[in-house]
Amino acid sequence: MRPLVATAPSRYYEALGGRREGISDCDRDDCSELTFNHVRRLPHRVEHRELRIVYWSTLITLLRMAHVGRFPNRSFGKDLQLIVVYGAVILAFLEGRKPTIASVARYLQLPHETTRRYLKTVVDLGLLTQNGRSYKPTERSRKGIINADKIERLLRRTARELYL
């Protein structure tokens, strides 16, 4: 199966001074199968491009929806780990476990102190309460999924794109 790839910009070759060394799978006259790696400036192939686009766009969109619903008026990028820590607590709670700093830190492979700070922030925002060493969602968190209809549409579209 041939990998899915995009066209390489011609300025790549100009940056190399017209040289094409390191290009092995390419006919010297037609290198339309190359992509441009902005970090190392070397050609590379992008295998399963469409599938990766579906996965990553779905993941990022779901995280953004969770962020808007639970952390309004805050920066998405800066709160990314906050969303994940909050989600890990909610997941553990829904599975019937008592999420603690240690269990969340272990699950997410984060330092204990970092996890503690994120949990304190989520408690301060009113989404979790601390009950001894464990955490549980507040009424505000239990009110249901914000944007549930949008999330359902996104998941249905993703399933169609993945041929499920």
Same domain as 57, residue 16? no
For residue 163, is it within any domain? no
Instruction: Please report the pLDDT score of residue 76 as a whole number.
Output: 92
For residue 147, is it within any domain? no
DSSP 97-151: ---BHHHHHHHHT--HHHHHHHHHHHHHTTSEEEETTEEEE-HHHHT--TTHHHH
Same domain as 137, residue 69? yes
Residue 11 has pLDDT above 70, yes or no: no
How far apart are the C-alpha atoms of 120 and 99, rounded to whole Å? 14
Residue 110 has pLDDT above 60, yes or no: yes
% of the chain at pLDDT higher than 90: 43
> Would you call 39 helix, strand, or coil by DSSP?
coil
Number of domains in the chain: 2
Q: How large is the average pLDDT for residues 97-121?
A: 97
Instruction: Please report the pLDDT score of residue 20 as a whole number.
Output: 40
Asked if 19 and 12 touch (Cβ cutoff 8 Å), the reply is no
Asked if 128 and 136 touch (Cβ cutoff 8 Å), the reply is yes
For residue 24, is it within any domain? yes
For residue 107, is it within any domain? yes
For residue 154, is it within any domain? no
Confidence of residue 112 (pLDDT cuts 50, 70, 90): very high
- CATH number, domain of 97, equals 1.10.10.10
Same domain as 55, residue 42? no
Q: How large is the average pLDDT for residues 133-162?
A: 85
Same domain as 89, residue 73? yes
For residue 68, is it within any domain? yes
Same domain as 104, residue 137? yes
Instruction: Please report the pLDDT score of residue 60 as a whole number.
Output: 93
Partners of residue 25 on adjacent β-strands: none
Residue-wise pLDDT for 19-66, tens only, equals 444 333 443 444 444 444 444 444 556 677 888 888 899 999 999 988
Residue 13 has pLDDT above 80, yes or no: no
- Structural domain that includes position 87: 50-142
Same domain as 67, residue 98? yes
Q: Is the pTM of this model over 0.75?
A: no
Instruction: Please report the pLDDT score of residue 46 as a whole number.
Output: 65
Same domain as 69, residue 28? no
